[in-house]
Structure 1
Amino acid sequence: MTVEGDGTWIGVDVGKTHHWVCAVDERGQKLLSLKVLNDEAQILEMITAVSGLAQSRVWAIDILGTPSALLLALLAQAGESVRYASGRLVAAMSTAYAGEGKTDAKDAYVIAETARIRTDLAVVDTDTDVVRTLGVLTGHRADLVADRVRMINRLRDLLTSVFPALEREFDFASCKGALVLLTGYATPEAIRRMGEARLSRWLRQRRVRGYADVAARAVAAAQSQHTVLVGQDVTASIVAELASTVLSQHERLKALDEQIQDTFAQHPQAAVIESMPGFGPVLGASLLVAAGDLAAFPTAGHLAAAAGLVPVPNDSGRRVGNLHKPRRYSRPLRHALYLSAQTSMMRAGPNRDYYLKKRDQGRTHSQAVIALARRRIDVLWALLRDDRAWTAAPPARAHAA
């Protein structure tokens, strides 16, 4: 494929400690290939050197995240245009180039060639710090949620070994009162000694919602077990420690969600995104982080393709018209759009009506949600294009093509 016009395409194989940079001209000839430490002085020196190669420059990187943060900040400061070439795309492109199986130098060259040949690479929004901040916050939130799930599972396992009746009684992932209970009382004997009235007062003093119900259910569970199991006291102390940790994580998540909400509100597209049913601040932030600059997608179809919601042909010989799920797409983007669609169809309205329509046509739950997610992309892209909030009723006059 021939690419016309003068210019330089620079591919950067991003690394934690260093980057490999390769620049090619309009014919795909290497202009430079060098290793650069992930250090401000060296990166600035490299940007200056590349700036002297041509007036027209397009940069491309393969990683968006922590390792590329300093590089992207310095490129933004220099006013450079940056594209994103995903790791899967680079891996697919690399098979067309001879040479060693995989090296940083080859990867940088392939990234540069990908930027030169492919004109549909997403633009990295280097001017916006909000998305990068949201990436840090949502990443930390995902870690906290994973830690919380792991600790709750460990708590349930330990409680089952000494007090299975109480473990069955509560959903510790959603019942904060049950966790408060475990911080003080995690054995049948201790709960029976307290009694329902005293336990109810103890929970009320700790601001447990529905304290009387929690106390009644706990006492009923304690009345069903009078056998003392081996290691009960030691296990109960560990359960109390885990319960306290989970409660602390819950408070940290609440504070983090407020921080994400405040940061998300600073993005110019936040109001439009959050107006759509199914998108709250956290899921909206996840969408921005996964998609990058939503304005960089020229059509709704491009956004749907990036999320893997557009089937691709699987034709061979005389077999035509066969479609299958794409193998290369952004899984975080697909996940955010899928979750928003699933949330939106839980309430009455056009989203639920469309979901039920697909179910009536014989689609499975997942297929119906995916179909809804694809339809919602058209709506979201149109709203962002027109910079207007979502309403249940369609606009009085369609946007002129």
Structure 2
Amino acid sequence: MDPAGRVLAKARLPEGVAGMARLHALVAGQFGAADPDEVEVVVGIETDRGPWVAALVAAGYLVFAVNPLQASQYRKRHAVSGAKSDAADAHVLADMVRTDSHQLRPVAGDSAEAEAIKVVTRMHKTLIWERTRTTQRLRHALREYFPAALEAFEDLDAADTLELLTKAPDPAAAARLTTAQITAALKRARRRSIADKAAAIQAALRAEHLGQPAVVTAAYAASTRALVAVLAVLNEQVTGLQGQVEAHFGRHPAAEIILSQPGLGPILGARVLAEFGDDPDRYASAKARKNYAATSPITRASGKKKVALARYVHNDRLIDALMSQAFAALNASPGARAYYDKQRARGADHNPALRQLANRLVGILHGCLKTNTHYNETTAWTHPTQTLAA
């Protein structure tokens, strides 16, 4: 599409090198006698990562990653019928970057190190989420046929719990577990107060509870074995990836600055770096970083009505890491604790107050990264007063 909106060419391209080569040829065919170095090619695409995005940026195109929600709303400017097709979506994306590129965000020029951190941190968090889902499935199954296990074991994904459920996945087998077997599992899991815990677990497993018919219990036991096996693998892979996250993050130049922030350790720090990226020109100001983080509120004003609301369209992984940082900072930073208490005193509930604290911490992080300085408790939470000359 040219600057006037006239469609110059259209094509469906294959994946891989062949598709990229055809795209280059398609674009080059529109230059005519013009010098290719003087022609700017702007590309709209509904993702900010992957081989195609990397190849487009490397080829010198100005690439805008368009949020699918933006494209969906923009589509209504062309038609209100609700019709949708790949060709129409391509036309919408081309028209968006032609007319509204000043409103869009170019693909960030993150380093390869930051991209590597993003890969391992996202998979690490994905496996943790999957472990939580699998644990809930196990909890639901045990509640249906083996409620004694829920009373006996505090953490269903713990190593000792998984070992004992593997040996005894049904009430009858669990009631036959000896103190020695339970104690051995607790020792391998490095538990404390082993004797007391072993006695409590044995008593809970031998207590009377409502049950299911034998054939149903056997079916549930088979399901429990499968879920326990999945949890064991997930635990192993989460631990292995944690080491990879720490190793990749430790080699990044900004790691020390990020680790100096209150509430951020190697894992949370790696997640924050991965989701923010390390392009120094990506965020024009602290406000821009806060808006991307979705910690800053949005304002809805109409007539005399004006309200500030939380942003519900956000990067789930980033906001999760920032809220975890804010909660940890309550004990790590007196300034953060005082700021949180101030919000609560103004009537804010826990989550809104924590979100405001996270918003403040994002601004502090932005300043530290821009000036290449470590976090300082006094500087971060002191507001100097300005004296105006008479």
TM bin, normalised by shorter chain, reads 0.7 to 0.9
2:301 to 315, 323, 328: 315
Instruction: Name the stretch that deviates more: 242-251 or 295-304.
Output: 242-251
Match of residue 18 from structure 2:
41
Inter-CA distance 324–233: structure 2 relative to 1 (3 Å threshold): closer
C-alpha distance after superposition, 1:310-340 (max 9, x if no partner): 3344333x32544444565444443333332
Runs of at least 5 residues in structure 1 that lack an aligned partner in the other structure: 1-22
Match of residue 70 from structure 1:
51
Check conservation: 1:72, 1:126, Cα contact below 8 A: no
2:286 to 288, 295, 300: 300
1:385 to 358, 367, 370: 370
Instruction: Name the stretch that deviates more: 77-86 or 187-196.
Output: 187-196
Check conservation: 1:344, 1:352, Cα contact below 8 A: yes
C-alpha distance after superposition, 1:6-37 (max 9, x if no partner): xxxxxxxxxxxxxxxxx432x44444333222
Q: Distance in 1 between matches of 2:355 and 2:110?
A: 32
Give the paired residue count: 371
Note if 1:102 corresponds to 2:84. Answer: yes
Matches within 5 A, 1:143-292: 143-173=126-156, 175-187=158-170, 190-191=173-174, 193-196=176-179, 198-203=180-185, 206-210=188-192, 211-225=194-208, 230-231=213-214, 232=217, 235-236=220-221, 238-292=223-277
Q: Distance in 2 between matches of 1:380 and 1:265?
A: 18
Q: Distance in 2 between matches of 1:397 and 1:301?
A: 19
Check conservation: 2:159, 2:189, Cα contact below 8 A: no
C-alpha distance after superposition, 1:76-115 (max 9, x if no partner): 4324332322112222333333587433333333333433
Q: Distance in 1 between matches of 2:110 and 2:22?
A: 21
Inter-CA distance 134–47: structure 2 relative to 1 (3 Å threshold): farther
Q: CA deviation at 1:358?
A: 0.7
Q: CA RMSD in A?
A: 3.4
2:2 to 24, 30, 36: 24
Check conservation: 1:172, 1:179, Cα contact below 8 A: no
One-letter amino acid of the counterpart of residue 230, structure 1 = P
Q: Distance in 1 between matches of 2:297 and 2:6?
A: 35
1:345 to 322, 330, 353: 330
Match of residue 6 from structure 1:
none
Q: Distance in 2 between matches of 1:82 and 1:146?
A: 32
Secondary structure of the residue that 1:83 maps to in structure 2? strand
Secondary structure of the residue that 1:102 maps to in structure 2? coil
Secondary structure of the residue that 2:43 maps to in structure 1? strand
Secondary structure of the residue that 1:359 maps to in structure 2? helix
Q: CA deviation at 1:218?
A: 1.4
Instruction: Name the stretch that deviates more: 267-276 or 321-330.
Output: 321-330
* TM-score between the two structures when normalised by the length of structure 1: 0.79
One-letter amino acid of the counterpart of residue 115, structure 1 = V
* TM-score between the two structures when normalised by the length of structure 2: 0.81
Per residue, is there more strand in 1 or in 2? 1
1:114 to 88, 96, 112: 96
Q: CA deviation at 1:40?
A: 1.0
1:128 to 105, 111, 132: 111
Match of residue 365 from structure 1:
350
Q: Distance in 2 between matches of 1:287 and 1:193?
A: 48
Inter-CA distance 61–271: structure 2 relative to 1 (3 Å threshold): farther
Q: Distance in 2 between matches of 1:395 and 1:141?
A: 31
Secondary structure of the residue that 2:373 maps to in structure 1? coil
Check conservation: 2:364, 2:380, Cα contact below 8 A: no
Per residue, is there more helix in 1 or in 2? 2
Q: Distance in 2 between matches of 1:254 and 1:235?
A: 28
One-letter amino acid of the counterpart of residue 24, structure 1 = D
Q: CA deviation at 1:195?
A: 3.4
Q: Distance in 1 between matches of 2:14 and 2:248?
A: 31
Q: Distance in 1 between matches of 2:353 and 2:85?
A: 43
One-letter amino acid of the counterpart of residue 84, structure 1 = A
Runs of at least 5 residues in structure 2 that lack an aligned partner in the other structure: 32-37, 384-390
Q: CA deviation at 1:359?
A: 0.8
Secondary structure of the residue that 2:178 maps to in structure 1? helix
C-alpha distance after superposition, 1:204-249 (max 9, x if no partner): 6645423434422211213423887533456445434432431221
Q: Distance in 1 between matches of 2:306 and 2:272?
A: 32
Inter-CA distance 396–193: structure 2 relative to 1 (3 Å threshold): closer
Q: Identical aligned pairs, as a percentage?
A: 25
C-alpha distance after superposition, 1:322-380 (max 9, x if no partner): 44445654444433333322332254522222112111111011110111121112111
